[in-house]
Amino acid sequence: MIRHPPGYEPERRYVCDVVFREFLGIDYFASIEDRSDVEITLSGDSSRARIVLADTLFQTPEDTWLTAASLPLLPLPMLALATTSIDAVTVTDSLPVIYGSPFPDGSFLCEREGEIALGLDLLGSAFFMLSRYEELATEVRDEHDRFPARASLAQAEGFLDRPIVNEYLEILWWALSRLWPMLPRARRDFRLRLSHDVDFPLFRIGREEAVRLALREIRREHAPWVATRRLLGSIGLRLPAPDRDLYNTFAFIMDADERAGTRSVFNFITAHTSGPIDGSYSIDDPWIRGLMRSLHERGHEIGLHPSYQTFRDGEQTLRELDALRRACAEENVDQPSFGGRQHYLRWENPITWQNWEDAGLAYDSSLSFADRAGFRCGVCFEYPVFNLRTRRSLKLRERPLVAMDASLLEYEQLSHERAADRLLELKRRCRLFGGEFTLLWHNDRLLSRSAKRAYELTLSR
């Protein structure tokens, strides 16, 4: 039983559905009361035990909702778990409090017989992260019109590398199980989710770009043979048949993924709304069709990679999905549903989610920052999304992307060895919560021995 103050009922209902039903597997009934906090009790419990949570975000005046004035004040206060009785799975003993209200003594926990009071606005903080609230309240964008990591609360406060919503969830579960030990919780097992955006399935790039990439491969990857093949190909020499093409690493990818006990999603571009930036192939090319059949026959999934300009264009998104469905039908690729990822991770809240919902896509996996790997949504669980403008829950599910190869190798300028170390740590943190480690690695970035070794190492450990 959840009793909460009036106001923001659709937002409250959504976050309770996700936290209790979706994540914990616990049914609930909510009611509105004239109160300033959130009370949780167990139906039929004669002891009248209760959990009390702070209620901060949903106390925001309507005229400042979704504005900078409603964002958390910095620096965030910290919940020092080591000084409390809280025994919960967390990344460290110190946990940032996104929204909350400390007790008069400065603590965030007050425990007495039959009652656990938390000064942490657990539900409001989870809503803030899952809905990507700050991306509507902040106008900063990068050169591709994306909300960058540098503008995020998680980056500013140093928690982008930890799934903070999962940590909040564990604190809630600690309180629930402490008062009601027999309460059941849904079981979750760690899962590896691999995906590959097919931008350049074959080596078809200009000379200037080829020179830039060749220099990188010599200096950073120590791969002169790859650089040589790239340079020769860029001037029209030694362009082999597709099956021996430099970028055709699909067999390697499938073999590595299958050895890891999983199958991948391969996301295909079906239109070109911005010229060469949208890849170098047609979905109707016979070799591409053959690749799609091969992926399907080995049990891998075909997904959509909407072109550069689609992130604000619902009609174009639907046209590109229809093109993918047609191609799959013609090649006897039978899938019950389709998901995918926006090209260049271009995503605008909540327009892009609504576009995908309207098109009938099942899930999106665009939400990682291009400039830094980590937990943009604060969670390593898949979850249903919420439209902050229409104030409605959507059927569309977000499968948060934890890391993209380019984020580590290009933006952060890491070597393959250091990138693998980072990926393994992020993977370990997902495993800690029985979550999903979602990784994007492009076929055209698996050319050198060091790249392939880093990929295989990330999958195997």
Whole-angstrom CA distances from 129 to 154, 163, 166 are 9, 10, 11
Residue 394, helix vs strand vs coil: strand
Q: What is the arithmetic mean of pLDDT over 164-172?
A: 98
> Which pLDDT tens digit goes with each residue over 317-340?
999 999 999 999 999 999 999 999
C-alpha–C-alpha distance, residues 127 and 165, integer Å:
9
56-70, 205-219, 310-324, 414-428: which range is least confident on average?
A: 205-219
- pLDDT reading at 236 higher than 70: no
How distant is the alpha carbon of residue 48 from its chain centre? Answer: 39
Predicted pLDDT of residue 242: 81
Query: What digits encode the pLDDT tens for the residues 92-121?
Result: 999 999 999 999 999 999 999 999 999 999
pLDDT value, residue 125 = 98
Which of 205, 198, 66, 207 lies closest to 139, judged by CA? 66
The residue extents of the domains of the chain are 2-179, 191-203+239-460
Given a contact cutoff of 8 angstroms between Cβ atoms, the answer to whether 305 and 340 are in contact is yes
**pLDDT tens figures, 139-153:** 999 999 999 999 999
Please state, rounded to an integer, the average pLDDT across all residues of the chain.
94
Q: Looking at the predicted structure, is the pLDDT value of residue 297 above 70?
A: yes
Dihedrals phi, psi of 132, to nearest 5 degrees: 55, 50
Res 362 pLDDT > 90: yes
pLDDT at 280: 84
Q: What's the average model confidence in pLDDT over 347-368?
A: 98
> What is the predicted pLDDT for the residue at 203?
78
Q: Residues of the chain with pLDDT > 70: what percent? A: 92
Alpha-carbon distance of 88 to 188, in angstroms, equals: 16
What are the distances in angstroms from CA 211 to CA 198, 205, 235, 248, 252?
Answer: 22, 10, 11, 20, 25
Q: Is 206 helix (H, G, I), strand (E, B) or coil?
A: coil
Instruction: Convert the pLDDT of each residue in 424-433 to its tens digit.
Output: 999 999 999 9
DSSP summary character for residue 75:
S
What's residue 431's pLDDT? 98
pTM score: 0.94
Task: Verify cis geometry, omega within 30 degrees of 0, for the bond prior to 75.
Answer: yes
CATH 3.20.20.370 fits 191-203+239-460, yes or no: yes
Q: What is the pLDDT of residue 205?
A: 63
Over residues 366-403, the pLDDT tens digits come to 999 999 999 999 999 999 999 999 999 999 999 999 99
Give dist(CA 331, CA 340) in Å, integer: 19
Residue 233 has what pLDDT?
64
Q: Which residues pair with 90 in a beta bridge?
A: none
- Position 252 scores a pLDDT of 97
pLDDT tens column, 242-288? 887 888 999 999 999 999 999 999 999 999 999 889 998 999 999 99
Q: What percent of the chain has pLDDT over 90?
A: 89
pLDDT tier at 241 (50, 70, 90 boundaries)?
A: confident
> What is the distance between the alpha carbons of residues 41 and 27, in angstroms, rounded to a whole number?
12
Residue 426 to residue 407: CA distance in whole angstroms: 14
